[in-house]
A and B are shown apart, each in its own frame.
Chain A
Amino acid sequence: MTDRNDIMKRSVGIEYERFESGFVAFDYEALMREAGDDVRAVAELQRETGVGATPLLELRNLTALARRLAPRGKGARIFMKDEAANPSGSFKARRAAVSVKKAKTMGFPGVMAATSGNYGAAVASQAAMRGLQCIVVQECYDSRGIGQPEIIEKARACEAYGAEVVQLTVGPELFTVFLSLLEETGCFNASLYTPFSVAGIETLGVEVAEQMRTRTGRFPDMTVITHAGGGNVTGTARGLAKAGATETVVVGASVNLQGLHMASDRDFNRKSFTTGHTGFGVPFAVMPDRSDVPRSAARPLRYLDRYVTVGQGEVFAMTEALARLEGLERGPAGNTALAAAFALARELDAEQTIVVQESEYTGAGKHAQAQLAFARENGIEVRLGDPREEIPGQSIVLPATPELLAPQEQNLDKLRRSRIRHAIKGRESELRCLARARENPNDEQRWRETLAFLGEETKRTPAFAQETLARLLEIEPSAP
């Protein structure tokens, strides 16, 4: 097979080396400009295929309930961006729209995506609209040939849009299969981690900001975003900032699947969420470049103000509550952020607002009922109780009462330090020399660039990077 990097370069049309500064840092904003700078132009492109401009719904009954459970004067108004209204039923259509248009413009015969999630249907749907071929590669079954109902439904949706679906058993070698198919077909790699994909989500952040201002006179106080690979957080936060909503608190929410191994044939069917969980959320935050492109455009730690986890049972209960109280039957994975927001609303004042920035379609397989039934068939205990007692892979605990919903706050600084540790991996001794010597202006500049980059990577400061590096490299901390 041809060199991995060559295949990648050819299949996304980006020369990633151009953004490297030759050391730890790279020029992230320059990489993002590959997708163009103009978020309005991206929105226009998306409208060509009916993507975006989704309704913003106020969840009045859930707000009333949150207030009833909150101290007097607390309980923010909860809003939800109904992204299920996109052509393929999820916000992923926004990402696919930009990538597929790019592939069409560049003259590729088709597009490919490696995904078990909503993104496959999104790429297939956009490819159908633009008249391109589409191949979706999925991790779908365990070695017994038993598949998650949610993933099987997504395969069905991809086929409905005319895509070829290549299904695999569990394992990271999916990437090797994907690469050889890219080489065989000469397709465009509609990776989730290109600037095109992330730019596609910026329009969602812009819409959240603008629709909230129209509706309430102000930007939202808080936005809760389901976090997996990092693109959703990155794109939405960038869009909010582009629209001027720089004060909005950006909260990431993932389903807690701690303890389950993502490459384990045994654990594969012991989880009830195939995305939006910590199995992606944590590694993609601290090692964003371990994706299918040399440099990922999805860099969640640059944008997160808070990160919380919720239990599988909490999300399923919230999915049921959304249908019963708001008349909105939506898919469970998209309600991860909603489960967190319902509890977080009780922290905020009643005059404040909180936005859940997505919903997704639902149906056979992709439904709380189907996934809970599947969990039970696979030996998972399903019961009512206190969700904090849930053990991923062993039990799913649906909250017996709504006040038991309690997202767990994660230590972001710990993730940020881990990010820095991974960013300098393999360069430790060079960095140690650089930190100690810095005799000529070149070295001094390289050191400062490194600190500035790591500060940006973690939404902290060069001083935070310096302090972390001092600990990692066992050198004397000194003022930058």
Chain B
Amino acid sequence: MKTNQAKQGDWVRIERTALAPEERAPGIPEETARTPLTLWVKGALLSETASVGDAVEVKTVTGRRVRGKLESVNPAWRHDFGAFVPELRAAGQAFVSQCADREGTES
């Protein structure tokens, strides 16, 4: 089965609009107010089969039933340590090189 398709019981992530732009709270910044308040939650798919983008219902880990658009199947965490930032290393090195007993250990 393709990764954009899910069957009943699969662990999926859904997306839904919690508030449309016109329903947003007064007084929030304009760039926020023109976007919807979007919500994501994960759960087990209740429909028999579905594809990404379909309207579905899931059962969350606390047993709540939530409707939304199927966003992903077997959602993964992909955050990492990011691209190397040489300035961070240099800032650390500035501390090390000022320590009396560590001078000259690295240029």
Contacts and interface: CB of A to CB of B under 8 A. Distances in A.
Contact of A317 (B39, B77, B91): B91
B32 A264 contact: yes
Which has the most chain A C-beta neighbours within 10 Å: B25, B64, B92, B98?
A: B92
A265 B35 contact: yes
Contacts of A261: 29
B35 A324 contact: no
Contact of B99 (A61, A167, A371): A61
A263 B31 CA distance: 9
Contacts of B24: 171, 173
A372 B95 contact: no
A316 B81 contact: no
Contact of A171 (B32, B60, B63, B99): B32
Given A171-B37, A316-B91, A372-B85, A365 B79 contact: yes
Nearest to A314: B91
B64 A370 contact: no
A464 interface: no
Contacts of B94: 317, 399-402
B88 A164 contact: no
Given A266-B31, A320-B95, A402-B98, A185 B88 contact: no
Contacts of B62: 110, 133-135, 164, 185
A384 B87 contact: yes
Interface in A170-202: 170-173, 176-177, 184-185
In the complex, which range does the number of interface residues on chain B fall in?
Answer: 35 or more
Contacts of A321: 91-92, 95-96
In the complex, which range does the number of interface residues on chain A fall in?
Answer: 35 or more
A164 B96 contact: no
Contact of B40 (A167, A184, A383, A402): A167
Contacts of B88: 316-317, 320, 368-369, 372, 398
Contacts of B31: 264-266
A364 interface: yes
B22 interface: no
Interface in B33-89: 35-42, 60-64, 77, 79-85, 87-89
Interface of B: 18-19, 24-25, 28-29, 31-32, 35-42, 60-64, 77, 79-85, 87-96, 98-100
Given A64-B99, A401-B98, 20 more contacts: A68-B100, A133-B61, A143-B38, A149-B79, A156-B79, A164-B41, A164-B60, A171-B24, A263-B29, A265-B29, A265-B32, A317-B94, A320-B88, A321-B91, A321-B92, A324-B95, A364-B80, A372-B88, A377-B83, A400-B91
Interface of A: 61, 64-65, 68-69, 110, 133-135, 140-141, 143, 145, 149, 152-153, 156, 159, 162-173, 176-177, 184-185, 261, 263-266, 313, 316-317, 320-321, 323-325, 364-365, 367-374, 376-377, 382-384, 398-402
